[in-house]
Amino acid sequence: MSQKQPFAIKVGPDKEIPLSFHLNPEDFEPASDSEKEELVTMRESVSFWSDGIRRFRKNKLAMASLVVVIFMMFFSFVLPRFYPYHYAQQIRGSEGLAPFEYSETELAAKEAGEKVFPHVLGTDTLGRDIMARIMMGSSVSILVGLVASAIILIIGSTFGAIAGYFGGWVDIIMMRIVDIIYTVPDFLIIILLSVTLKHPLMALAEKPGFGWINRVGVGLISIFIVFSLLYWVGMARIVRGQVLALKEQEYIAAARALGASHSRIIRKHLLTNCIGTLIVTTTLQIPSSIFTESFLSFLGLGVSAPMPSLGSLAATALDGIYTYPYRLFAPAVTISIIILAFNLLGDGLRDAFDPKLKS
């Protein structure tokens, strides 16, 4: 420790800065082994993922929303496999049952000792189990959200990365395109396309090799087409901004010096380094896609019958709002929970993985 100096400023309990230009020779002595050991940090280095996951775990709201999302996934994809009724199955004699009500044939079967699974939410006017339809509807909604977000992720990140990486006039032209698509009123074009695409798609489904269109449903396909045409621009802007900053980094120069191709640099270096942003933006895209799908289905432009969606279930239940309000509230509550859970999950991921993005 330093010896007492005549003129010194006390800065700590046992530390003083001498008020002279005389250097303290003790400061220049080689450190002893024990001193060296003190400087070695014993903590393990924290990787990007473990840091993010640790922060995410601390966020109670985000963890709760993750649980809800997992539960909704289970509810809409696993549960229907064990549920005794199919969403399109019309049960004769069981039309318009109230929740937990049995029809006469079902009551007779029960008397005979058979086990009859109750209609938890009753049946609709065509004798279809409403619970089964809501499960199917929420799986359609979640699937639309996931697939649309995947499409947006692929198109948006590729477009944005190319624009940001090449820069110059490529960037200018590509970003002008984005600017223009950004100002297009998306809902109008979505409605217009889903009206007009229906017939050409149906005609296409007749041709050999395109039978899958009918399986997926013309309504769903036109929704996906619309999403992939219009919704990727937000993602493209965000990715471009990230790439513009990242491409000046030394490791990009190093990769280029080693002879890596443009596509390799974009794929292996630029996109992998903005993975946090990509995850967060994609997750926040899911609820907005579900929102759009339910809006379209509610107007009768989304999925085609007999496939249910939460929006179309609510629309058909609207006529019976005074007599069967639960038929309306069940899909309405389900869709609100799904959107809320995905929104909160996205917010939580953003706080954990990409604090800079917080607006």
Partner 1 sequence: MAKYIVKRMAIGMVTLLIVSTVTFFLMFLVPGGPFLAEKAPSAATLKALEEKYGLDKPVPVQYKNYMLRLLKGDLGTSLKQRGREVNDIIFTRLPVSARVGGWAILVAVVLGVTLGSVAALNRGKAIDNVIVFLSTCGIAVPGFVVCTVLMYFLGAKLNILPTFGLTSYKHYIMPVIALSFYPMSYISRLMRSCMLDVLGQDYMRTAKAKGVSQWAALFKHALRNAILPVVTYLGPLLAYTLTGSFIVEKIFTIPGLGDSFISSITGRDYPLIMGTTIFLAFLVITMNVVVDIVYKLVDPRIKLG
CB of 90 to partner 1, least distance (A): 25
Sole window of 27-35, 37-45, 132-140, 316-324 interacting with partner 1 (rule: CB under 8 A): 316-324
Contacts with partner 1 by CB under 8 A: the residue count is 42
* Rg of the Cα atoms in the chain: 30
83, 135 contact by CB (below 8 A): yes
CA-to-CA separations, 270 to 2, 243, 278, in angstroms, rounded: 50, 6, 11
Residue 17 or 299: the one with the smaller Cβ distance to partner 1 is: 299
Residue 89 or 196: the one with the smaller Cβ distance to partner 1 is: 196
**Which helix (H) or strand (E) covers residue 11, if one does?**
strand 8-12
- Give φ, ψ of 254 to 5 degrees: -65, -45
Applying the rule CB under 8 A, the residues between 43 and 72 that interact with partner 1 are: none
CB of 294 to partner 1, least distance (A): 5
DSSP 24: -
- Choose, by CB under 8 A, the member of 52, 287, 302, 348 that binds partner 1: 287
CB of 257 to partner 1, least distance (A): 34
Q: Give Cβ neighbours of residue 215 (< 8 Å, ≥ 6 apart).
A: none
For residue 301, state whether it binds partner 1 (rule: CB under 8 A). Answer: yes
Count H helices, E strands: the chain? 18, 2
- Choose, by CB under 8 A, the member of 87, 291, 324, 353 that binds partner 1: 291
CB of 196 to partner 1, least distance (A): 4
Residue 265 or 328: the one with the smaller Cβ distance to partner 1 is: 328
For residue 264, state whether it binds partner 1 (rule: CB under 8 A). Answer: no
281, 234 contact by CB (below 8 A): yes
Three-state DSSP state, 64: helix
Alpha-helical runs (H) found in the chain: 33-39, 48-58, 60-73, 79-82, 104-111, 130-166, 168-183, 186-196, 198-206, 212-216, 218-230, 233-246, 250-257, 262-264, 272-273, 275-298, 310-317, 325-353
Three-state DSSP state, 129: strand
> Per-residue x/- mask for partner 1, residues 329 to 348, rule CB under 8 A?
x--x--xx--xx--xx----
CB of 88 to partner 1, least distance (A): 23
Direct distance between the N- and C-terminal alpha carbons of the chain, in angstroms, rounded to an integer: 49
CB of 342 to partner 1, least distance (A): 9
Applying the rule CB under 8 A, the residues between 187 and 206 that interact with partner 1 are: 187-189, 191-193, 195-197, 199-200
> Per-residue x/- mask for partner 1, residues 141 to 180, rule CB under 8 A?
-----------------------------------x--xx
- Choose, by CB under 8 A, the member of 67, 184, 253, 305 that binds partner 1: 184
CA-to-CA separations, 25 to 9, 29, 170, 244, in angstroms, rounded: 19, 7, 61, 49
DSSP 125: T
Q: Where are the beta strands (DSSP E) in 74-113?
A: none
Sole window of 116-124, 146-154, 259-267, 288-296 interacting with partner 1 (rule: CB under 8 A): 288-296
Residue 68 or 143: the one with the smaller Cβ distance to partner 1 is: 68
- Distance in angstroms (rounded) separating the CA atoms of residues 47 and 50: 5
Binding footprint of partner 1 on the chain (CB under 8 A): 176, 179-180, 183-185, 187-189, 191-193, 195-197, 199-200, 287, 291, 294-295, 298-301, 311, 314-315, 318, 321-322, 325, 328-329, 332, 335-336, 339-340, 343-344, 359
